[in-house]
Amino acid sequence: MTRSRAFCAALAILVSVGGCASYHPLPLPRRPALASRLADLDLTLPQSSARDPLRRIDISRSLTVDEVGLIAILNNPGLRSEPGEIGVAGGKLLQATLLPNPSATLGYGALIAGPGTASSLAASLGQDIAALVVHDAQVQSARAGFYQVDADLLWREWQVAQKARQLAVDISAADRAIALTRRELRLIANVLAQVRAAIAAGNLTITASAPLLTAEAAAEQALATQRLDRLKNWQALDALLGLAPEVRFAIARPVFGSLPRDLDRLAMSLPERRPDLVALRFGYGAAEENVRAAILGQFPAFTLAPSYGSDTSKVVTIGPTFTFALPVFDRNQGRIAETRATRVLLRAQYQDRLDTALGTVRALRAQLAQLSADLAAARKAAAAAGALAATARRAYAQGNLDQRSLTDYETTALERALQVVAFERSLGEDRIFLAVELGLDLPRVRIAPAARTEPS
């Protein structure tokens, strides 16, 4: 009998140990993981379903602004932590779903002396009942927390895509602005050379070159600022894409369609569509369950344990054992107060985020209306200046206009074209901001690829 009991105990220990995880080291990386060219990045978009064909972004041509945003999501170094974060949330959810282990108590007393005729044996198997009372609320809270993490990660992907698209718009606009400024500098340099030649010949005084030198200095300063801004934007974009800071690639000129007509309806549906608001709603749901669990936690700690005993006189007893805490001092008041205050805080934060989101959408819509009107006026002025420059070139070819006046007309046309580029850049940025605020033209599910996780 003793051998069979010992065998059963050993078997129980082996079974419990056999289900345990084992340790495997996961060393840190030894070198940076920045790619030296665009082709080294992950360019394959995940399938929405098994039937959908794999889509790979074509980098043999100029990339659109949206494609740059997708590449950023697929390769952004900051998003590589997503699998770990969702794994941690999944682990918390798994832990919350597990029932508390029962507790076993074994006691054996060997008979050494006295009137007894046998060794004593005692055994009990207990279960914490109080933990079972709050178990469902804790599971619901952990499940809401898991969904909150998933929605937060999707919102982070949207933010990365927004920044990459904005930088692509800025770089495209900078390329056009730099080309126009360089053309303006060439025009000024040509006229300045002629004026200097006339001064040397005694046909003009030195004061004639002063306005040209001022214009040249201003254009050179503008060009230097444009080039530095473009360099910074390229470096920021490369960092978002996981590229070395000197990598360059072709970006297509941004093209934006018309705005949706139902902006008001889209704005009012933000709580169901925007990941950050959805995440806050899940967080509030978790807080609600935490309040419920805290209230249920007023149930005193209670353990029910059937027990078996055999004393030295071979008297065998069996019966239940009850262990419970007396709620004299601690009735879980602190936990209840904390969870209720947390719920109030999250409710206020959600209201603030919702108000901010709706206000931002309306503000961007007003800005876009103003920028569209300004852009239309700038394009009209640029077209008029371009027409005057063309007329001036014909007059100069016929000998009816001097070189300095022709340069003034052409410089004015270039300045008007630079204004158009500036308005188009601002308009493109606001369109991207509005798209993110409304969740337009963005993935509805997370697409950042899963990284290698720690082996089990």
Cα(452)–Cα(357) distance, rounded to whole angstroms? 36
Q: Is the pLDDT of residue 73 over 50?
A: yes
Among the residue ranges 47-51, 91-95, 250-254, the one predicted with the least confidence is 47-51
Does residue 210 lie within any of the structural domains? no
- Domain span including residue 112: 103-133+302-331
3-state SS, one letter per residue, for 215-243:
HHHHHHHHHHHHHHHHHHHHHHHHHHHCE
Does residue 123 lie within any of the structural domains? yes
Other CB atoms closer than 10 Å to residue 308's CB: what's the count? 13
Does residue 125 lie within any of the structural domains? yes
Cα(306)–Cα(319) distance, rounded to whole angstroms? 6
Could you give the count of Cα atoms lying within 13 Å of 50 in the half-sphere of its Cβ?
Answer: 0
Cα(241)–Cα(243) distance, rounded to whole angstroms? 5
Does residue 405 lie within any of the structural domains? no
Other CB atoms closer than 10 Å to residue 100's CB: what's the count? 12
Q: What is the pLDDT of residue 452?
A: 44
The DSSP code sequence of 135-171 is HHHHHHHHHHHHHHHHHHHHHHHHHHHHHHHHHHHHH
Does residue 371 lie within any of the structural domains? no
Strands 44-45 and 120-128: unpaired
User: Average pLDDT over the chain, rounded to whole?
Assistant: 88
- For residues 380 and 415, the answer to whether their CB atoms sit within 8 Å is no
Opening angle at CA 350, ends 347 and 353, nearest 5: 150
Does residue 115 lie within any of the structural domains? yes
Does residue 31 lie within any of the structural domains? no
- pLDDT band per the 50, 70, 90 thresholds, residue 133: confident
Q: Is the pLDDT of residue 10 over 70?
A: no
Does residue 66 lie within any of the structural domains? no
Q: What is the pLDDT of residue 320?
A: 85
Quote the number of domains for the chain.
1
Cα(101)–Cα(127) distance, rounded to whole angstroms? 7
- pLDDT band per the 50, 70, 90 thresholds, residue 241: very high
Residues 6 or more apart whose Cβ sits within 8 Å of residue 401: 392, 395
Per DSSP, which regions of 311-414 are E strands? 316-324
Q: What is the pLDDT of residue 378?
A: 97
Q: Is the pLDDT of residue 451 over 60?
A: no
Please tell me the pTM assigned to this model.
0.84
**How large is the average pLDDT for residues 313-335?**
82
Q: What is the pLDDT of residue 50?
A: 66
Look-up of token digits 């000197």: 246
How confident is the model over 160-189, as pLDDT tens digits?
A: 999 999 999 999 999 999 999 999 999 999
Q: What is the pLDDT of residue 30?
A: 83
Q: To 10 degrees, what angle do helices 210-241 and 65-75 make?
A: 40
Among the residue ranges 197-206, 219-228, 339-348, 422-431, the one predicted with the least confidence is 197-206
How confident is the model over 199-236, as pLDDT tens digits?
A: 888 887 888 888 888 889 999 999 999 999 999 999 99
Q: What is the pLDDT of residue 6?
A: 47
Cα(324)–Cα(326) distance, rounded to whole angstroms? 7
Maximal C-alpha separation, the chain: 138
